[in-house]
Amino acid sequence: MGSSIHPTAIIDSGAQLGENVTVGPYAIIEDHTIIGDGCSIDAHVKIARYTTLGPRCRVYFGALVGEEPQDHRWKDGIVSFTEIGADTVIREYVTIHRSPFEGKKTVIGDGVLLMAFVHAGHDVMIGNRVTIANQTALSGHVEIGDGAIISGFVKMHQFCRIGTLAMISANNVLVQDVPPYCLMEKNGYIVGPNTIGLRRAGFGNEQRAAIRHAVKLFFFNGLNAKNAVREIMAGTVTPEVANFVRFVTSTSRGIISGNPDTIFDAKEDKA
């Protein structure tokens, strides 16, 4: 099956389209764009210049991908980029902006799902297999690790980071970092590890127990961050625990607090 380009679509001569690409009515694809094989671009979508879509992406009605940033530092003529990985789904009216800085990138990984009305600001870095639900807004320079799940109507301050396989409940406002493997409830606190997410990702009992122990020491044992890290590193340091420690010790905005009402049962550390 070959490509299917609607006659009302506007495709710049400087755009590069792969094989078996579908472009719907009134879509706009600007110059210096690369559209991978098997991509589907719905009606009234705009793919702005300096954007790359990996193979098999699907962009739904009204989405705006790679547009100039909402930033006072932006100047006409700056060459910056938006890179979208393979098999990523961009739903209705999603907006994704490129960097205001020469040569910099906004990057979204493979297998990502951005639900309707999500906004990804300039210089955002989203890992692979991330799911972000409706109406969530990522300010500039936000970083999200692989496999994270962000619920709807979440608002994130500039430079916040969400770690690998973390899960954020709906209606939260983030002004600090959420470490890998953690669950942030709607009250704005960390309440423990993302146990269900870890199981779905194939983590075994020993891996989950090590993560749970690290989360318990860092958030719920009454220790300051420095002493908590010392206690964690004195125990079993699996690759996941090492990732957790790297994240919490490299924060610039600080780490979201743990819920003081959370109680850990010792038996659960073996779960």
Return the active site residues. 122-123, 140
Distances (CA, A) of 78 to 47, 49, 74, 262: 17, 11, 7, 49
Bridge-based pairing of strands 190-193 and 182-184 is antiparallel
DSSP state of 100: S
The neighbour count for residue 250, using CB atoms within 10 Å, is 9
Q: How far apart are CA 61 and CA 2, in angstroms?
A: 22
DSSP 63-86: -EEEEPPS-TT--TT---EEEE-T
Q: How far apart are CA 254 and CA 192, in angstroms?
A: 17
DSSP state of 232: H
Q: What is the side-by-side order of every strand in the sheet holding 58-59?
A: 4-5, 22-23, 40-41, 58-59, 89-90, 113-114, 131-132, 149-150, 167-168, 182-184, 190-193
